[in-house]
Structure 1
Amino acid sequence: MRSAANGVLLAGLAAATAPVSAQEATPVEPARGNIQNTVRCESPKGRERTCQADTRGGVRVTRQLSRSPCVEGQTWGVRPGEIWVKAGCRADFGLADLGAVIAGPIYFKCEATGLGRQHCPVSTRGGVRLVRQLSKSDCIQHSTWGFDRNSVWVSQGCRAEFTAGVEEDAAEPDVGPHSVRCESDRGRERRCDVGVWNGAELTKQLSKSPCIQDHTWGWDQRGVWVSRGCRAEFRVW
């Protein structure tokens, strides 16, 4: 009797100490949203949501998860550094490997939510072009939108889709010269949004108040400013 019991005990110990490989179950497949170069982005209850992602190499839908359609430019799109979804779109997005991508244009949305200027970081070395205006407010280059070396800017309610980057037949970026009128109302300082790459100069003073550079007017890469009643026309490039 004792020998039979010992045999059962030894058999149990042998089963308990069997190699791990013999006991392993089929490995669980990782969620697609966690796979390298794949980002899952979901619009909760129809609201717009943004998901951080390296979008420089391009983005595409690899798997739609929602019944609501995911249509590029309508219910999903790309901005520098992020993917946006809305209207119930839920999907897995594939990110292209930068090492395997030929340099080319990227498409993104830039929106001014108020009267102030909004900058959207992007390399503009290959030029920038407005593709589609989304706002009722006019998007006018050098007035309500423009670009500097490292970003596209919009202001005064301009919302639009742009393309930026290097194309095979791309012309050199249009960096001027351009004319702009800037006026200080009732002595208050005012900034006139215009892309300034290399410099600005006063071409015609319109006010009785003097316009003196670095005193009542000046410039930086984001535009021209005037103060203390200075009203003038400027040339920027």
Structure 2
Amino acid sequence: MLRLFAAVLFALGLYAAGPAHAQDSVTCESRDSKYRECRGFNGRARLERNLSDAPCIEGRTWGTRNGVIWVNRGCRGRFVPSWTGGGGWGGGQAGRTIRCESTDNRTRECAAGFRGRAVLTRQLSDSRCVEGRSWGQRGSNIWVSDGCRGEFAEGRGGGGWNPGGPGGNPNYSVTCSSSDNRRHTCGFESRYGRPVILRQLSKSPCIEGRTWAYRNGQIWVDEGCRAQFGTR
């Protein structure tokens, strides 16, 4: 009975059976804006790249549970295990990120254990995450407020940072700005890997997949997003 049920789901394109290997990536697509489930990982997944024009926002248009990744409302993305990170981290520090969330617009402090400067790698909230205003660092901890929800990593100068690691360059960054709320593109050297937000410079939120994205060596920003991008 279970095999028959799984076969039906697979035929309908709602589920791709079988766990992914620990280092694989999974592409999951919401076709015709419909809900779909895909094989996941033995743990939480993270969005490595948004492949659709529709925004991929965790908890809203995609999520992960019990080894399954789900997508909805046109989101199409490439997902990897949450413990994998970009090049440039050494040893046991690979991919070390923390999530910190301000619920009910309250200030919250999260234990991070960072020895270097923290960077915002992904904004998860509609409320903007602006360093010094709605998030910051106190010693080794991260604080957030005013509804900011984000994922943070230890940036340049941290004990886990290896500037000689593959793809990483702590001195390389690009500032890209959406002037007059219009879409603008900026070149980003692909040899350094996939960009992340080092610092949001605008009051308008910079949300990956909605107001900024990276494709084929180009960063695009829209709706007033202005940020400094680099690698970690």
TM-score by length of 1: 0.32
Q: Which of the two has higher C-alpha Rg? A: 1
TM-score by length of 2: 0.32
Q: With CA pairs under 8 Å and 6+ residues apart, which has the higher RCO, 1 or 2?
A: 2
